Structure 1
Amino acid sequence: MRYFDYIGNENLERLFLKKPQYFNRDTGKELLKYSLGAFIYVPATRYDMAYKTVSGKVMGARPLAICLEDAVGAAGEEEAIKNLELILKNFKDDNVKNIDDIPLIFIRIKDANQLEKIKKIITDYEKIITGILIPKCDSHLIEKIINILNSFKLTKIYVIPIIESKEFIYKENKEYYFENMYKTLLKHKDRVLNVRIGIADLLGIYGIRRSKLFSMYDNIICTSFIHDVINYLNRPELDIPISGGVSELFNMDNEIIKNKYIEEIMLDKFHGFIGKTVIHPNQIKIVQALQVISYEDYMDAKNILNSTESIYGVSKGILGERMNEVNPHLLWARKILILSQIYGVLNEGVEYNELLEF
């Protein structure tokens, strides 16, 4: 699969200096971990919705999580697990011709006990499952889930922790929990594909819900939490991408909602996050369009990487509007080149909003 495969070749040539490349669940982790883009959650209790997304009928849906947790009511677990098996069975029977036909399918479990319950499902369909999402996650739960998967002999299935519990926000606890999360991620960095943050859950602890008038960066609880996530977990030695938090606001015909959503994604990127959890197809195109690398960033990144052996540590950017400095911008440049393989590079003069027209 690849991003923007719904855009015809003529328009791809017009829009992209460098087209997005193909990837699948067997792509090397160094590239795959940056490929999650707009990561959509679909409830397992809604078979039609989930199967439509898995089978590629939702435009642009590439990575997706079939959710057995928050999107499932207290009485819906049994039905959700049955649907999960049916979705995977029907998808495998109907659609899989080769590895490139398979989206990145993840299962969002409720807890370790539920993972034990679905052992047969994930072992039967391990070749089309990319990973397990772990909600309300801490360091102990990561260890427990990895040990369970190893006991199932499912050593090629990735895990994705979701940090969203009060232990990571309460002042008296958070240092301990973040330090242990860091140590555990470092220990299992080859197995952890991504880290996600649960903004809705954290706000819910304080009885707060999003407003369409603000982004999460306007909320001091969110900004405090984001500061800690970046400070503890966005470390070069971990090198595990962190994704931006979800928004439940999806009516992109509302200009206020759309503009705030775009602002938030741009702030996600500015804070070093890659991709974003989404809960509605209306959010997918915007998130994906904003992951594409601009002409300026791509050309400057190449220039920085080509200058590592130069006698000059500073050079003018391609558009003549900023300075490139090799030492402070080196990690940024390397990341830009990796992301350019997945999401592509826009031609000079092309803006991301042109991708929203398709």
Structure 2
Amino acid sequence: MRHFDHLAEDVRRDLFHAQPESFDRDSDRSVLAHALGATLYVPATRSDLATTVRRRAAAGARSMVIDLEDAITDHSVDSAVASTSAVLGQLDQDPPDSLIFVRVRTAAQIRELTLALGPGQQIVSGFVLPKFGAKTGEEYLQAVAEMEARSVHPVYAMPVLETPEVLYREAREAELIGIRELLDRYRPRVLAVRIGATDLCGLFGIRRDRDLSIYDVGVAADLITQVVNHLGRTDGTGFAITGPVWEYFANHERILRPQLRQTPFAERHADELRRTLMSRDLDGLMREAILDRANGLTGKSVIHPSHIPPVHALAVVPHEEYQDALDIVEPESVAGGVRASEYRNKMNEMRPHRIWAERTLQRAQVFGSAAAGISHIDILTALQEAA
């Protein structure tokens, strides 16, 4: 599978300097963590679940979560697990071009799905583990390891941090240390750590407005900072951490100003695209996705197909950043020093910027690098036209 494969070949050729590379379920764990992109959550109770998964994959979704937790009611859990098992069995016969995960409620559900799918299953890439904690997480991780032992492919865990223990300041330090130590014992099985911002905000009766980002909500922003500090380190002890869910997709009356500048869209004759993005509250999503990356997160949880193009367009590495990253990782740059960017608008410091450069090139591997003169607006326009 490959990002942007649903675009015509000539369109991709015009948009990209370095084309996105293919990946599959057996790719390196770090590659898959960056390749998640916009991870689309789909309720397990959908009557057309298999068709929906295939349709979304054909439209560019490269990671999806079949949701057995928050997206379904308590009284429909048993039927949802049974129907999910059946759907996964159907998809297993002809897997779509997407990584498929299941968000479960309990470790027992992982074992139930393992038995239902049988040895050699090819469809489930892993499980999203809700309400993950230092004391409760090991049972989840053991169940994931048991399924992998019966699978022909790696099976990963994506724990979700969304409990009072990680949010309340007096318990947070010990809880994050405990989670870090637990995840380290299962490191090969941990694909990424997810942050359950909706549940965390709910503990304080907070729901962020669509005109704001999660970084405007103090208690959530404070937690994200601490999670990155404990679990997102780049010294070999950290993990990929994904951006929290964006939950809006329809127009509303605005109080604050729109979050997309007019000029870049006008220069590319894309004023209608700007209006469309704002009418669907996607300007807020785009701002938050940019802030996610600035704060050390990668990818984004989303709940609507319209969220995927903006997140993926913003994941493409701009030509200028790509050239800077290549410059910084050149063998002679290991000795340190400073040199002017190829674009002659900044200085690249070889040692301080090296980790940034390596992560940027990892992102470019799966999302590509834009051609010179191509902006995220051009890529998003192509994606909207292909929708």
The TM-score by the shorter chain falls in which range?
A: over 0.9
1:67-78 matches, cutoff 5 A = 67-78=67-78
Q: Deviations over 1:289-334 (max 9, x none)?
A: 1111111111011100115456551111121111111111111111
Rounded Cα–Cα distance in structure 1 between residues aligned with 2:211 and 2:97: 38
Q: Which residue of 2 aligns with 1:328?
A: 352
Offset at 1:102?
4.1
Q: Which residue of 2 aligns with 1:92?
A: 92
Residue 111 of structure 1 pairs with residue 106 of structure 2: yes
Rounded Cα–Cα distance in structure 2 between residues aligned with 1:311 and 1:81: 56
- The normalised TM-score by structure 1 is 0.93
Rounded Cα–Cα distance in structure 1 between residues aligned with 2:184 and 2:172: 18
Residue 273 of structure 1 pairs with residue 297 of structure 2: yes
1:1-358 matches, cutoff 5 A = 1-49=1-49, 51-54=51-54, 56=56, 59-93=59-93, 95-96=94-95, 101-124=96-119, 126-152=121-147, 153-154=149-150, 156-236=154-234, 237-251=236-250, 253=276, 255=278, 257-306=281-330, 308-309=332-333, 313-357=337-381, 358=383
Residues 312 and 221 from structure 1, CA distance in 2 versus in 1: closer, same or farther, beyond 3 angstroms? closer
Residues 14 and 189 from structure 1, CA distance in 2 versus in 1: closer, same or farther, beyond 3 angstroms? same
Q: How many residues are treated as equivalent by the alignment?
A: 353
* CA contact 2:68–2:103 (8 Å) conserved in 1: yes
Rounded Cα–Cα distance in structure 2 between residues aligned with 1:187 and 1:209: 35
Offset at 1:21?
1.1
Rounded Cα–Cα distance in structure 1 between residues aligned with 2:319 and 2:80: 44
Q: Is the deviation greater in 291-300 or in 110-119?
A: 110-119
Residues 48 and 124 from structure 1, CA distance in 2 versus in 1: closer, same or farther, beyond 3 angstroms? farther
* CA contact 2:144–2:156 (8 Å) conserved in 1: no
Q: Deviations over 1:41-65 (max 9, x none)?
A: 1111113145312454561111111
Secondary structure at 1:336 match in 2 = helix
- The normalised TM-score by structure 2 is 0.86
Amino acid at match of 2:213: S
Runs of 5+ consecutive residues of structure 1 not aligned to the other structure: none
Secondary structure at 1:212 match in 2 = coil
* CA contact 1:216–1:222 (8 Å) conserved in 2: yes
Secondary structure at 2:75 match in 1 = coil
Alpha-carbon RMSD across the aligned residues, in angstroms, is 1.9
Offset at 1:142?
3.0
